């Protein structure tokens, strides 16, 4: 994911990578470089989830993404999952 995102950012394309926050001290937005940032979404507990339990947080994660997008009046031309 980071490799593709970095290549797009180098071409001047704004890229947001959404991920689940894993600790309370993470900032909501982390600027990785020009045109590239990571958005940490709170979805479920920060710790203690196994890989098999992550799908149980999908609705909370998707809801957090939608809220972030609406609150920041964003529009995306492409979504890669």
pLDDT interval class at 60 (50, 70, 90): very high
The residues spanned by each domain of the chain are: 2-71
- Is the pLDDT reported for residue 46 higher than 90? no
pLDDT > 70: what percent of the chain? 100
Neighbouring residues of 36: CB distance < 8 A, sequence distance ≥ 6: 5, 6, 8, 9, 14, 15, 17
Neighbouring residues of 67: CB distance < 8 A, sequence distance ≥ 6: none
Whole-prediction pTM value? 0.89
Predicted confidence at residue 49, as pLDDT, reads 86
Structure tokens given for 71 = 């609150």
Strand partners, 15: 36
What is the overall mean pLDDT for the chain?
94
Tell me the average pLDDT across 2-14.
97
Predicted confidence at residue 14, as pLDDT, reads 97
Contact 61, 69 (CB under 8 A): no
């Amino acid at each position: 994911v980071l490799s593709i995102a970095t290549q797009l950012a180098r071409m001047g394309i704004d890229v947001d990578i959404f991920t689940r926050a894993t600790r309370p001290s993470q900032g909501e937005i982390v600027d990785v470089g020009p045109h590239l940032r990571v958005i940490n979404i709170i979805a479920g507990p920060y710790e203690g989830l196994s890989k098999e339990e992550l799908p149980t947080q999908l609705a909370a994660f998707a809801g957090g993404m939608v809220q972030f997008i609406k609150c920041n009046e964003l529009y995306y031309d492409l979504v890669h999952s």
